[in-house]
């Protein structure tokens, strides 16, 4: 089902002189771990499997690897996110081997979007290899397809991650709508940052949906939390300690701005964000400088506002709501 790049893994092992590795994978890909373990054992490489949570390439288990004396990490399911690694990491991207589930969606997509439209397209790492082929099939049906540039977080043209949709943002003024190949999660993220319609294809479930109406309801809820935060006095600013989520300068900047607005502010570290952790603290609201999707997906688990930096700036009158939503600045801090 998935392609695993064993040739380059061999080269990495030789180049880095690897003897012991930590294997890290998200839940959905853990059934593939034995393939990698077997391959490593045949080459006399000791493999230790992480059972910790794995949310993305911003969440590399450096501390776990160091704790067990590993020479490197084999990280499955994501492409490289940061500009550097604290110890050697080999990224097993686990791209899907069969394009047919996606290509079988071509007729349905062209029917839903309509001939003559200009579409910006993006995909998760599992599908990004088939983007050009899929775009060609859509063009044959009268749909013009644009794939924007990559960013420093996304090493491949057309790739999207939960907090970065540069391939859409960079062509937004030229398109009628966007098409995200992946899941509802990635469609929601895109739709929060563009005013144009966003369609999501899930090839494995054979579904396509337009996500913008759902996002409008979500934004109404976000605005209500901003209003609650506006009247809150004691605030905690969260600093993520996961490698790709450490935005310490953003956290200090937010602390200074909030204090200028008359609020009492403390800085707090966070690894796995949990409602019990925050509910036992004496704060009326929080600013989340770690993963932005925690505020979007997990807010209802918390009894106090869990705002993005952009939302906190709106609450303080430093940004305007109408100039922030449906733009890249909404998620990017």
pLDDT tens string 104-147: 999 999 999 999 999 999 999 999 999 999 999 999 999 999 99
The answer to whether residues 220 and 322 belong to one domain is: yes
The answer to whether residues 36 and 131 belong to one domain is: no
Task: Give the residues of the chain that fall short of pLDDT 70.
Answer: none
Return d(Cα 151, Cα 147) in angstroms, integer. 13
Domain boundary among 191, 210, 229: 210
CATH number, domain containing residue 238: 3.40.50.11860
Cα–Cα separations (whole angstroms), residue 125 to 35, 57, 84, 199, 212: 20, 11, 19, 18, 23
The answer to whether residues 113 and 46 belong to one domain is: no
The answer to whether residues 219 and 325 belong to one domain is: yes
Domain boundary among 144, 179, 210: 210
Show Cβ contacts of residue 90 under 8 Å, excluding neighbours closer than 6 positions: 8, 9, 12, 21, 72, 73, 74, 75
**What per-residue confidence (pLDDT) applies to 248?**
96
- What pTM was computed for the model? 0.93
The answer to whether residues 196 and 293 belong to one domain is: no
pLDDT tens digits along 18-40: 999 999 999 999 999 999 999 99
**What per-residue confidence (pLDDT) applies to 274?**
84
The answer to whether residues 317 and 256 belong to one domain is: yes
Domain boundary among 190, 210, 230: 210
Asked whether the beta carbons of 258 and 288 are under 8 A apart, the reply is no
Domain count, the chain: 3
CATH number, domain containing residue 56: 3.40.50.11840
The answer to whether residues 70 and 10 belong to one domain is: yes
The answer to whether residues 122 and 77 belong to one domain is: no
CATH number, domain containing residue 126: 3.40.50.11850
Asked whether the beta carbons of 286 and 307 are under 8 A apart, the reply is yes
The answer to whether residues 15 and 71 belong to one domain is: yes
- Return the beta strands (E) in 16-165 as ranges: 20-24, 46-49, 72-76, 89-92, 95-96, 118-123, 144-146
Placement of tokens 């770690």 in the chain: 290
Please provide residue 173's backbone torsions phi and psi, each rounded to the nearest 5 degrees.
-80, -5
Structural domain for 322, as ranges = 215-330
The answer to whether residues 253 and 283 belong to one domain is: yes
Angle between helices 33-42 and 6-16 (to 10 degrees): 50
The answer to whether residues 131 and 171 belong to one domain is: yes
281 by DSSP, 3-state: which? coil
**What per-residue confidence (pLDDT) applies to 84?**
80
The answer to whether residues 44 and 113 belong to one domain is: no
């Amino acid at each position: 089902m998935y392609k695993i790049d064993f040739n380059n893994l061999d080269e990495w092992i030789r180049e880095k002189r690897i003897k012991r590795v930590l294997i890290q994978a998200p839940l959905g890909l853990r059934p593939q771990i034995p393939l990698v373990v077997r391959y490593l054992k045949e080459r006399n490489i000791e493999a230790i499997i992480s059972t910790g949570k794995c949310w993305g390439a911003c969440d590399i288990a450096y501390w776990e690897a160091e704790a067990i004396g590993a020479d490197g990490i084999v990280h499955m399911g994501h492409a490289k996110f940061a500009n550097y690694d604290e110890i050697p990491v080999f990224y097993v991207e686990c791209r899907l081997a069969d394009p047919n589930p996606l290509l079988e969606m071509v007729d349905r997509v062209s029917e839903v979007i309509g001939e003559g439209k200009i579409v910006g397209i993006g995909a998760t790492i599992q599908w990004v290899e088939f983007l050009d082929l899929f775009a060609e099939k859509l063009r044959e049906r009268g749909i013009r397809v644009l794939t924007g540039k990559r960013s420093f977080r996304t090493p491949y043209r057309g790739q999207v991650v939960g907090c970065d949709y540069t391939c859409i943002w960079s062509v937004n003024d030229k398109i009628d709508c966007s098409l995200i190949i992946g899941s509802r999660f990635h469609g929601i993220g895109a739709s929060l940052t563009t005013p144009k319609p966003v369609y999501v294809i899930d090839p494995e479930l054979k579904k396509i949906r337009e996500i913008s109406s759902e996002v409008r309801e979500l934004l109404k809820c976000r605005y209500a939390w901003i209003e609650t935060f506006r009247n809150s006095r004691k605030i905690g600013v969260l600093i993520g300690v996961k490698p790709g989520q450490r935005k310490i300068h953003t956290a200090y900047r937010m602390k200074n701005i909030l204090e200028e607005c008359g609020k009492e502010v403390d800085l707090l570290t966070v690894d796995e964000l949990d409602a019990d952790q925050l509910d036992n603290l004496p704060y009326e609201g929080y600013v989340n400088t770690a993963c932005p999707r925690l505020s979007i997906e997990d807010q209802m688990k918390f009894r106090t506002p869990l705002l993005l930096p952009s939302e906190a700036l709106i609450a303080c009158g430093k940004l305007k709501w109408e100039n922030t939503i449906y733009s890249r600045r909404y998620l990017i801090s």
